Amino acid sequence: MMSKTIVVIGAGISGLTTAYLLSKRGFNIRILERKSEVGGSIESIKENGFLFDRGPNSALETTPLISQLVEELNLKDELLYANKAANKRYILRNDELHALPMSPPALIKTKLFSTKAKFRLLAEPFIGRSADGYYQSLAEFVRRRLGQEFLDYAINPFVAGVYAGRPEELSVKSAFPKLYALEEKYGGLIIGTIRSIRERKRRAEKSKQSAKMLSFKSGMIALPKAIANYFGDRLILSAEVNSIDKTADGYIVSYRHNGIDEAIVCDAVLSTVPSYVAGDLFTKFNGKFKTHCDSIYYPPVLVYFLAYNKKDIQQPLDGFGFLIPEKEKKSFLGALWSSVIFPYRADDGFATFTLFIGGSRNPDFVKEDRNKLLEKVRREFEHLMKINGQPVYSANRFWEKAIPQYNIGYIEHERFFDEFEKQNPGLFISGNFRGGISVGDCIKNAELVTEKIVNQL
């Protein structure tokens, strides 16, 4: 029997991982990537001895598949786990950095939350379930269960760090399904957390809280590059897909490569490109496809990388970095202390930082003068970190459309894509706008998508 051919569109981590798993199951895989490099939003640049991850900076080992990939792709020597110091995370309040309390005693002692807010947390187990979970924002959910101050000084900055988003706009069910499930299944967050830890132990799964954080010596790009090497010439770069057409017994994918029009006949097509790209590819199969894709919001984000002499920094470098609540009125969302988290990010004597600007909180930053904005952000950052010296290196990367926002009503998109796949056997839609935005989510999701494709074909 001839093995079936699958065309994977997009060589980001979602596309590459799913392609790899399908290839191991015996399918004939062709990958088409529009850009001249693999990795999608994963980009790692080394310059002047500094390593700048311009997209995702790390991944959480939430699935055994990650260590399996590392093993099979011979990446063991490249693999890095985050330093213990990275467990400590800071939040800004009243221009001061406070460590986020990670235990009940720390919560009692912290100045991050008022006494009133701490007492408010004790009420959480006694608050009932909400009625309309599907259309509830994360902000409403947290305010109801944990109170306003916890929303302002824990959840608001956290959401800026993960999604570059705002809790008022994100759907609790779509953006934080595990949080939503704790209330649905167990009736509360505190009781649900305790019970779900027991259940996960039985399933040998890692929660995001306990999963180890990892990266690679040469940056996050090491993983997509290793998968790309495995595929060799079955992966075609600078290939712009023009159309996908149904044939009597499958599909034909037409694309342009090096100025020449080419086509691949296949049994199935998996799209892993961002929704705003996918929209144009599948409209002919369903007129509403583009409408759904185009209404998924990706805010702009500017990633700003700074390196300093360690001797110029007064703030102890003993954490993951800090996040900034919206209430603090700063020009950026937060900063990762990149060289604290992983080695090989800077030479001895230097410290590197990755700052994030914009997101849903401030999409209008794009109208500002870029140099003036960067200068303002740098001054604020240096003030908070007590830095009295100039950066020895800086770089930035502007993402016009950064991270898909799982906003209120996102469930409608999810249902639509599910229905679309049912009505069009052989067409599969994946990527970080389905099933989670993190690298770990994308890898986990690749397993689910692989099973779905194998079962159908």
Tens-digit pLDDT profile for residues 20-40? 999 999 999 999 999 999 999
What's residue 210's pLDDT? Answer: 74
Question: What DSSP line would sit under 82-100, residue for residue?
Answer: PPGGGG-EEEEETTEEEEP
What's residue 155's pLDDT? Answer: 95
Side-chain half-sphere exposure of 415, counting CA atoms within 13 A: 5
Confidence check: pLDDT of 433 > 90: yes
Confidence label for 260 from pLDDT (cuts 50, 70 and 90): very high
The two tokens of residue 332 are 């950026």
- Kindly state the percentage of the chain with pLDDT values over 90: 87
Tens-digit pLDDT profile for residues 197-231? 787 777 666 666 678 999 999 999 999 999 999 99
Side-chain half-sphere exposure of 230, counting CA atoms within 13 A: 23
> Could you tell me the residue ranges of all domains in the chain?
5-41+220-296+406-456, 113-203, 299-399
Confidence check: pLDDT of 2 > 70: no
SS (H, E, C) 193-209: HHHHHHHHHHHCCCCCC
132-141, 387-396, 416-425, range with the lowest pLDDT:
132-141
Which of 223, 213, 228 shows the shortest CA–CA distance to 80?
Answer: 213
Mean pLDDT, range 115-133, rounded to an integer:
87
Helix (H) or strand (E) holding 69: helix 64-72
Q: Output helix, strand, coil percentages for the chain, rounded to the nearest 5.
A: 45, 25, 35
Confidence label for 103 from pLDDT (cuts 50, 70 and 90): confident
What's residue 208's pLDDT? Answer: 65
The two tokens of residue 146 are 């944990």
Confidence check: pLDDT of 1 > 60: no
Type of residue at 248: A
Tens-digit pLDDT profile for residues 334-351? 999 999 999 999 999 999
Helix 177-186 × helix 189-203 angle, to 10°: 100
Asked if 62 and 73 touch (Cβ cutoff 8 Å), the reply is no
Residues in the chain: 457
φ/ψ of residue 359, rounded to 5: 70, -165
Mean pLDDT, range 107-119, rounded to an integer:
94
Which of 101, 139, 138, 108 shows the shortest CA–CA distance to 122?
Answer: 108
CATH architecture of the domain 5-41+220-296+406-456 equals 3-Layer(bba) Sandwich (3.50)
Mean pLDDT, range 119-139, rounded to an integer:
86
Inter-CA distances, 98 with 82, 109, 256, 370, 386, Å: 21, 11, 53, 30, 15
The two tokens of residue 417 are 């894509």
The two tokens of residue 295 are 């209404």
What's residue 338's pLDDT? Answer: 98
d(CA 418, CA 34): 25
Place domain 299-399 in its CATH homologous superfamily: Protoporphyrinogen oxidase, mitochondrial; domain 2 (3.90.660.20)
Confidence check: pLDDT of 196 > 90: no
- Kindly state the percentage of the chain with pLDDT values over 70: 98
The three-state secondary structure class of 134 is helix
CATH code linked to domain 113-203: 1.10.3110.10
What's residue 222's pLDDT? Answer: 98
pTM of the model: 0.94
Type of residue at 232: G
Mean pLDDT, range 373-392, rounded to an integer:
98
Q: Which residue has the higher pLDDT, 202 or 294?
A: 294
Mean pLDDT, range 71-78, rounded to an integer:
97
Confidence check: pLDDT of 131 > 80: no
**CB within 8 Å of 249: residues ≥ 6 apart:** 267
Cα distance from N-terminal residue to C-terminal residue, the chain: 13
Inter-CA distances, 49 with 2, 39, 339, 392, Å: 49, 22, 12, 11
Rounded to the nearest integer, the mean pLDDT of the chain is 94
Mean pLDDT, range 364-368, rounded to an integer:
97
What's residue 209's pLDDT? Answer: 66
What's residue 194's pLDDT? Answer: 84
The two tokens of residue 128 are 């009932």
What's residue 205's pLDDT? Answer: 62
